Each structure stands twice: as structure tokens, then as C-alpha cells.
Structure 1
């Protein structure tokens, strides 16, 4: 009777461990958003210093146009032996005017994410395809090639 109980307990323990191994793994990436702090940023009231004091450094800043700070956060979920999937995604874009004051605050989510699917493992380019040896020896004997010791080159008239 005790052998049957031991076998039953062993099977129950094995089933519990197996079920625990199938649970999903959650990973936070980027800015960890605190709703209280992100809701506190107000246009016309805050400036760059107060935003940085409340939220920290942005994930990235705009390079063109109006100065804009972006705070990007993602929560990925992954089951064992599978690719991660984005569970939640949010972007907080804070635009500043020329004086450094907050001009606007925009919040967006997964609806504005663009999924890109590359076509193959090569990037198409304009021009002709050149092989390794043509790249290596292509300028040998070319008249007027850069680096050639001819007229107009170094030491020429």
C-alpha cells in the first residue's frame, strides 16, 4: 500500500514540475512605465528638466524637426521553445518647443507598430554585381584610376 502511495506522490510531483515548466516567461524591455509619473507630464507646465527628473533619460530623441523625447516600453511573453511575442507595447512621445517647454504629449500602443519582413538575406542595391576578385583587382591597369601615378596624380605636372 505504501508503494502505491509513493508512486502516486511521485507522479503528482512530476506532473506539477512539468506543468510549471510550460508557463510563459515575461520580460520587460525598454522604459518601465509608471502610470502615475507618465500622466503627470503636462504641456505648458513641464520643461525638459522636470520631465527628465520625473521619467529619467528617454529611450531615444528625435534627430529632425521639433525636439521630441520617446519613452518606449515593451512586455514580451515567451513560452519555452518558442519565439517571444509582444504582449503590450507603449510609446510616450513628448514634444518640446524652442524654449524647452513641453508642447505636446502623445501616447500610442501596439496599433502603430510596423512589422517588417525582410525579403531574403540580401539587400538589393543599384549598380552592377561585382565579385570578390573584381573588387580586389578591378583597378589594376586602369588609366587615370585613383592612386595611379599618371598625369594629374601625385608627382605629376
Structure 2
């Protein structure tokens, strides 16, 4: 569904539910340090909010909220952030994703693990969210300019 829906109920529901879904996605991302969930689940929820806007508001109008041209770039940045955190740990003499050896001298190992997990979760969230949006845009026939 590329064009804007003609049903005012679906349009209002899409406008109302999408921000709530995205807020829950942000909560799941930040809660990933302490419990189940995190990067993948948060990324899927954030993507679901954007895809709901694309489906209810149409491809062209929803481009103002999240343009298709930035989805692949942000997906690559998320993948580099995820993998880069592990590679930096290997270069510092540890194992892949061994956050306690990250080369930040003034931080304690507990804080290094905390921020290491945060960077990994951020990379996963960004990669999953923008990857799913790019897949939807490709399947819906929305090009990088936001047109059909």
C-alpha cells in the first residue's frame, strides 16, 4: 500500500499508534541492559512504527518523517557500530565483544561493559530498524526519493 489510505479511521489510528509503538521500542532498547529484549526487539518495534506510518499515510507523506534515502546509510552505520565494538576489543588484546578490555583508560571495567553493551545494542537497533524499513520500501516500490 503506497498511496495514502482513504479511510479516516485507519489514518487516525496510524497517526496515533505509530508514536506509541515507537516509544515502546525505545523503552525495549534501553531496558535491554537489564532484562530480556534489547537491540533486535527494539529495532523491530521502531521499524513497525515507521512502516505503520508508511501504510496509513502513504509513501510520499511519510517520507517527511523518515526518508528512504537515509535507511541504507543508517543500516550500514549500525552494522559498523556493532562489529566495530567487537573489533576494538580484539585490537585491545581481548576477545570479540569482551567489553572490559576496551581502550578507555579512565573508566572502570564495569562501566566499560555497560557502555560496550550500549554501543552494541545501539548498533543492532539501528541496523534492524533501518534494514526492515529498507526491505518494506523495496517491496512497496518506494524508491530513495520517496516516490512510487
Is the radius of gyration larger for structure 1 or structure 2? 1
More helix by share: 2
Alignment TM-score > 0.5, same fold: no
TM range (shorter): under 0.3
The TM-score with structure 1 as length reference comes to: 0.25
Greater relative contact order, per chain length (Cα 8 Å cut-off, separation 6+): 2
